[in-house]
């Protein structure tokens, strides 16, 4: 997340979901059988990190301590920035796949069997604090930037090819889902850097983010990936931490939200251009996380939430004065909170809500395809 920084986040560019299509009131459930997905491969930041940062010796962007994981099976912190499972986990479960393990957990001589299995069903390359760019934070070993995550994917691709052979690997990858949830930390870097703001205006910076992301998507595509789920940046100005700093009435930071909108606009145009370049060898679903979050905040009861401004875990005003730590308190009913911590990571309940929106027949948040349509294409 940010560089003030800890996790990567901002609200969630995303979201979980297992089988609870009727989990929240007032929204019709997705219907019909989901298409077949043999593998789920995940790239991104702390919104989908499954514990890669646990293996970074010098990183402080970790969530391997309580109260993180209080609702995860076994009630243990795993490195996920959540009270339970995150979006990447839920996506895999929707398709009947194992949770994609963190890539760095698969390294080593005695993990070869697990690595071979995960190479087929899916691997999580995401890293809390990661960005599209290789920021100074990542150069200091705090996170794994997107370009390095793609390097790690190339290693798994070689593993997969050795197992299945080139022809079968291409068939497998053409049906698999490649999920990308990233961009918030690059915007936080821009907010906090006078040097970056002096060098680029917001339009230039957000366009350069989209251009850089395009390079990495093409690298993934060139290995045989066809289906992409791309999640836009949410309203990071509405995280509990941003609200807490924004006057006595704790409104959203609309300047920060404006920059998010600029990036999402550049992202949508870039994806359209990339699709034109790659034609039928690429299909994608873009999820408008900005709009979906705005609608949830505007009408929380419809989605089953009682608090859409405070963090569930923390201390002080809006529970946002401190990060979620073992010494802080956490809410008793996590299903009623939108945000888990001050950085805007979603609770498991919130993540499930977003996944249901992705899979819903209502396409107001997804284009040109919903996730259900993407995996059936």
The residues assigned a catalytic role are: 46, 341, 345
DSSP of 270-317: HHHHHHHHHGGG-EEEEE-HHHHHHHHHHSGGGGT-SEEEEESEE-SG
Which residue(s) pair with 43 in the sheet? 180
The answer to whether the beta carbons of residues 230 and 288 sit under 8 Å apart is: no
CB 100 within 8 A of CB 114: no
DSSP 103: G
Beta bridge partners of 181: 44, 231
| Radius of gyration of the chain from its Cα atoms, rounded to whole angstroms | 19
Could you tell me what percentage of the chain is helix, strand and coil, using 3-state DSSP and rounding each to the nearest 5?
Answer: 45, 10, 45
Per-residue CA distances from 117 to 29, 61, 112, 120, 185 (Å): 32, 28, 9, 6, 32
Is cis: bond before 67, omega within 30 of 0?
A: yes
Residue with tokens 């034609």: 279
CA distance 174 to 156: 15
Alpha carbon distance 155, 160 (integer Å): 9
Contact yes or no for 287/365 (Cβ under 8 A): yes
Rounded Cα–Cα distance for residues 246 and 240 (Å)? 10
Cα–Cα dist 207/215, whole Å: 13
State how far the Cα of 81 lies from the Cα of 189, in Å rounded to an integer: 20
219 in Cβ contact with 157 (< 8 Å) = no
Whether 49 contacts 99, CB under 8 Å: no
């Amino acid at each position: 997340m940010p560089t003030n920084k800890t996790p990567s986040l901002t609200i969630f560019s995303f979201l979980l979901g297992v089988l609870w299509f009727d989990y929240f009131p007032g929204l019709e459930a997705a219907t019909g059988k989901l298409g077949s997905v043999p593998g789920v491969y995940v790239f991104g930041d702390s919104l989908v990190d499954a514990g890669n940062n646990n293996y970074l010796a010098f990183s402080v962007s970790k969530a391997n301590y309580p109260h993180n994981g209080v609702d995860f099976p076994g009630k243990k912190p795993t490195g996920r920035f959540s009270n339970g499972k995150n979006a990447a986990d839920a996506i895999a479960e929707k398709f009947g796949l194992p949770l994609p393990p963190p890539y760095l957990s698969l390294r080593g001589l005695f993990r070869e069997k697990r690595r071979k299995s995960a190479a087929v069903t899916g691997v999580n390359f995401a890293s809390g604090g990661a960005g599209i760019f290789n920021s100074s934070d990542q150069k200091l070993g705090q996170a794994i930037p997107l370009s390095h995550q793609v390097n790690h994917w190339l290693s798994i691709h070689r593993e997969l090819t050795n197992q299945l052979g080139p022809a079968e690997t291409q068939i497998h990858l053409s049906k698999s889902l490649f999920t990308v949830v990233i961009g918030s930390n690059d915007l936080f870097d821009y907010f906090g850097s006078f040097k970056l703001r002096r060098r680029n205006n917001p339009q230039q910076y957000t366009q350069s983010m989209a251009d850089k992301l395009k390079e990495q998507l093409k690298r993934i595509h060139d290995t045989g990936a066809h289906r992409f789920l791309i999640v836009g940046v949410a309203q990071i100005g509405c995280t509990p931490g941003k609200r807490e700093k924004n006057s006595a009435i704790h409104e959203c930071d609309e300047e920060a939200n404006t920059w998010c909108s600029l990036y999402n606009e550049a992202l949508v145009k870039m994806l359209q251009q990339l699709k034109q370049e790659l034609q039928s060898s690429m299909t994608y679903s873009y999820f408008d996380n900005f709009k979906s979050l705005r609608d949830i905040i505007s009408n929380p009861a419809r989605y089953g939430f009682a608090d859409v401004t405070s963090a569930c875990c923390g201390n002080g005003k809006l529970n946002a004065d401190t990060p979620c730590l073992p010494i802080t308190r956490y809410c008793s009913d996590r299903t009623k909170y939108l945000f888990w911590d001050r950085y805007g990571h979603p609770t498991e309940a919130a993540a499930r809500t977003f996944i249901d929106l992705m899979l819903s027949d209502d396409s107001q948040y997804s284009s040109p395809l919903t996730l259900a349509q993407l995996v059936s294409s």
